[in-house]
């Protein structure tokens, strides 16, 4: 006989179940979790988040909130997301396959906390905040907001506390001057990235401001590259600056050798991706800049 499968209809119910049964595991799309359980043989009770309408959809008020249970296909299909957050869209376009994206959720990609989670670097450069809620407190329980840079603690580990459910991903509305993009290389599309990188910056009269750079698959967690950002801040993103920043980026990451690639190759990719991502972000708006990749 199998352990139970709970299918709550509301977040409140899910929180209560989790509080009551702390060894139960949450499942959203299940594309990470069910594969991992099959490999490990784990068989405990599951709480499904699929039936919870509050966790789904892209909601606009001042900020934009993407429900944690929104599927990657739903995000790809959103005209608002395509127009305003191209780096996130580019990361989802190459994530898994159609049948993965049709069930996999944005919240699941983050909570699984793989160093190579493709949506993490774009969400870092967009300054995403994560809303997490647990049982108790008011109507929807006790909620707090976590900066995405404080969310990842190591492979498979996040700063979510026991009993907390990720409710949504909050994004600021982009300014018309925001430029952003994403670069990735995998052995084949269906494979986890060898390395990935996202950039975002305000392009202000030929100067880059509020530069953000983040990279995936090159450290135990998706990593913000602050030294690289500083090199690029308030510059014209001229070839010389880009080349210097690319060298800094390659040194700032801490990749490992594994079956997919060597650490040295990953550093080299990060340098190339930085130049390419900046150039492509400008070119998407018909603007020039950047060095040669």
Ligand X SMILES: Cc1cc2nc3c(=O)[nH]c(=O)nc-3n(C[C@H](O)[C@H](O)[C@H](O)COP(=O)(O)OP(=O)(O)OC[C@H]3O[C@@H](n4cnc5c(N)ncnc54)[C@H](O)[C@@H]3O)c2cc1C
CA distances to 133, 134, 135, 167 from 142, in Å: 5, 5, 6, 11
Rule CB under 8 A: choose which of 10, 12, 16, 50 binds other proteins: 50
**Binder among 109, 134, 180, 241 for ligand X (CB under 6 A):** 109
C-beta separation of 136 from 11 below 8 A? no
Can you tell me which of 51, 156, 174, 239 binds other proteins, judged by CB under 8 A?
51
Q: Please state, in angstroms and rounded to a whole number, the distance separating the CA atoms of residues 280 and 10.
A: 42
50 binds, among other proteins, ligand X, none (CB under 5 to 8 A by kind): other proteins
Q: Which of 167, 169, 166, 32 is closest to 96 using CA atoms?
A: 32
Reference 120, options 101, 148, 159, 157; nearest CA is 148
Per-residue binding letters, 161-200, with other proteins (x by CB under 8 A): ----------------------------xx----------
Place of tokens 């100067």: 207
Helix, coil or strand: residue 222: coil
**Cα–Cα distance, 257 to 264 (Å, whole number):** 8
111 makes contact with ligand X (CB under 6 A): yes
Q: How far is the CB of 59 from other proteins (least distance, A)?
A: 22
Interaction between residue 112 and other proteins (CB under 8 A): no
String marking each residue 2-41 x if it binds ligand X according to CB under 6 A: -----------------------xxxxxxxxx-x------
Q: Which of 10, 16, 45, 57 binds other proteins (CB under 8 A)?
A: 45
Which H or E run includes 141?
strand 141-147
Q: Which residues would be at the binding site for other proteins (CB under 8 A)? A: 1-5, 7, 21, 23-24, 27, 29-31, 34-35, 38-39, 44-46, 48, 50-51, 73, 96-100, 102-103, 189-190
């Amino acid at each position: 006989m199998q352990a139970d499968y709970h299918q709550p209809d509301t977040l409140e119910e899910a929180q209560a179940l989790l509080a009551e049964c702390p060894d139960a595991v949450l499942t959203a799309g299940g594309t990470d979790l069910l594969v991992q359980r099959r490999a490990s043989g784990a068989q405990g009770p599951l709480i499904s988040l699929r039936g919870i309408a509050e966790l789904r959809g892209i909601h606009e008020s001042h900020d934009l909130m993407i429900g944690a249970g929104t599927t990657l296909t739903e995000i790809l299909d959103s005209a608002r997301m395509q127009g305003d957050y191209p780096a996130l869209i580019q990361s989802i376009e190459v994530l898994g396959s159609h049948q993965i994206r049709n069930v996999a959720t944005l919240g699941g990609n983050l909570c699984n906390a793989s160093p190579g989670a493709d949506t993490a670097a774009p969400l870092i450069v967009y300054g995403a905040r994560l809303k997490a809620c647990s049982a108790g407190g008011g109507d929807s329980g006790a909620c707090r907001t976590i900066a995405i840079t404080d969310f990842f603690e190591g492979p498979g580990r996040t700063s979510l506390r026991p009993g907390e459910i990720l409710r949504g991903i909050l994004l600021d509305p982009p300014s018309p001057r925001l430029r952003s993009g994403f670069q990735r290389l995998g052995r084949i599309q269906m494979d986890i990235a060898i390395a990935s990188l996202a950039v975002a910056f305000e392009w202000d009269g030929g100067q880059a401001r509020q530069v953000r750079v983040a990279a995936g698959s090159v450290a135990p967690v998706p990593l913000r590259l602050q030294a690289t950002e500083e090199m690029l801040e308030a510059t014209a993103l001229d070839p010389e600056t880009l080349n210097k920043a690319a060298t800094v980026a390659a040194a700032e990451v801490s990749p490992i050798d594994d079956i997919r690639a060597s650490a040295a190759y990953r550093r080299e990719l990060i340098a190339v991706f930085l130049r390419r991502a900046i150039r492509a972000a400008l070119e998407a708006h018909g603007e020039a800049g950047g060095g040669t990749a």
